[in-house]
């Protein structure tokens, strides 16, 4: 089965778009974990889906915040199979990055993000790159399929001329 889940990227879901940075910053790590889980697996109402085989029958190890697929036996975390999988960041920081990035009207620089999240520049750089890539790729797909939602988001350098023109005409 394909690793890519059907439908829109979770970073462009309503949940991600309406994520409030202030709310995220008030969350405990546990609450942030629940919020990320609900965001990532919104299609199943927050129930974990195996990133390897797509199975929804999953054991949950609550204490370690890990899941195990009943079908293929692979263990996974809430970030496995996402662009945040290799990041050793608290989930709250990841959520904050999403709130800043997805809701920001202008592209957020890695330097700004490293200051905002109080993480190393390199960490912020990799994260901004991955976020731009994920959001940019998804927006390109949506352009092609004609289901563009214009919300004023602009990621510097990632909107090509034809795309920009199309967005402009949609607004007008």
Q: How far is the CB of 65 from Zn ion (least distance, A)?
A: 18
The residue among 71 and 164 lying less far from Zn ion, judged by its C-beta, is 71
Other residues' Cβ atoms within 10 Å of the Cβ of residue 24: 22
First-last CA distance in the chain: 41
Closer CB to Zn ion, 55 or 148, in the complex: 55
CB of 54 to Zn ion, least distance (A): 7
Render 81-121 in DSSP notation, one character per residue: TSTTTT--S-HHHHHHHHHHHHH-SSPPPHHHHHHHHT--H
Beta bridge partner(s), residue 61: 66
State in angstroms the smallest separation of the CB of 155 from Zn ion: 33
Shortest distance (Å) from residue 81 CB to Zn ion: 11
Buried b (16+ CB within 10 A) or exposed e, 84-95: beebebebbbbb
Which residues in this chain contact Zn ion in the complex, by CB under 5 A? Answer: 50, 52-53, 55, 69, 71-72
Kindly tell me which of 13 and 75 has the beta carbon lying closer to Zn ion.
75
State which residue, 1 or 141, has the beta carbon closest to Zn ion: 1
């Amino acid at each position: 089965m394909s690793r890519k889940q059907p439908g829109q990227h979770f970073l462009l879901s309503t949940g991600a778009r309406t994520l409030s940075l202030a709310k995220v910053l008030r969350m405990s790590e546990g609450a942030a974990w629940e919020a990320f889980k609900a965001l990532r697996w919104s299609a199943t109402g927050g129930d974990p889906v195996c990133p390897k085989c797509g199975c929804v029958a999953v054991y949950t190890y609550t204490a370690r915040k890990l899941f195990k697929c009943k079908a293929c036996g692979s263990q996974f975390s809430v970030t496995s199979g996402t662009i945040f999988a290799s990041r050793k960041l608290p989930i709250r920081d990841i959520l904050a990055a999403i709130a800043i990035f997805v809701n920001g009207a202008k592209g957020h620089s890695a330097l700004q993000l490293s200051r905002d999240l109080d993480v190393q520049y390199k960490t912020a750089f990799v994260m901004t790159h991955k976020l731009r890539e994920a959001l940019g790729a998804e927006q390109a797909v949506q352009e092609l399929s004609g289901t563009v939602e214009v919300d004023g988001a602009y990621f510097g350098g990632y909107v090509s001329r034809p795309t920009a023109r199309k967005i402009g005409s949609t607004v007008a």
